[in-house]
Amino acid sequence: LEKYSSQGRFVSQEHLHLTLEFLGEISEERLVTIKGLMDNLTSNPFVLKPSKLGYFKRPQGNIYWLGIEYNKELMKTQEIIHKSLLKEGFKLENRLYKPHITLGRKVKLKNSFNYSILDEKIKDIRIDVNKIDLMRSESINGKLIYSIIHSRIIE
């Protein structure tokens, strides 16, 4: 996507991720609760397949994302996490979960860009998922940096 763009802030490959639940600011005490929920999570490994390139329109440049095909195990895992967090009193977004991977923000594509080029490139991508990470995101010098706080291997 970056090579077809005239501008944008792109997510580096090591920071690409799929959000299961956005939590916002969390206290250290609440982190202990989340880690416990993760450690007790029952899930099986699964494979994600990209479905399409999409974007959220913004005046200063669009937010581009990679949609994910429906996956029963992904949806089950997200629902378990969502319900467990609600049960513990977390305030969560109340909207339909639509899995996607953010690729870039404030992106403006070159006039010559053709969606079919990227559609062809993404159709054979497979992402093996065997771990769930609790991530911290911080804005450093205008760039979002992600770091892992806790991990749960799923098997």
Indicate which residues carry an active-site annotation: 17, 100
* Inter-CA distances, 115 with 28, 57, 126, 136, Å: 44, 16, 20, 32
H helices present in 5-102, as ranges? 28-39, 72-87
Nearest to 127 by CA among 54, 55, 73, 59: 73
Buried b (16+ CB within 10 A) or exposed e, 71-90: beebeebbebbbebbeeeeb
